[in-house]
Amino acid sequence: MEIYPTDVIALVAFIAVISALSFLIYFKIQDKKEIKKYKKV
């Protein structure tokens, strides 16, 4: 099975998108937790 450069680029791009999305979701969850902390004060 041959691996084409386009396949590698597509895979890297896919992983980058998934990583970015998971990071954004994590950041939003953390942000909501911070907001809750501030509301208690």
Query: Nearest 10 degrees: CA dihedral of 20, 21, 26, 32?
Result: 120
Cα–Cα distance for residue pair 16/10, rounded to 1 Å: 10
Q: 32 pLDDT exceeds 90? A: no
pTM: 0.58
3-class secondary-structure state, position 3: coil
Per cent of the chain over pLDDT 70 is 93
| pLDDT band of 13, cuts 50, 70, 90 | very high
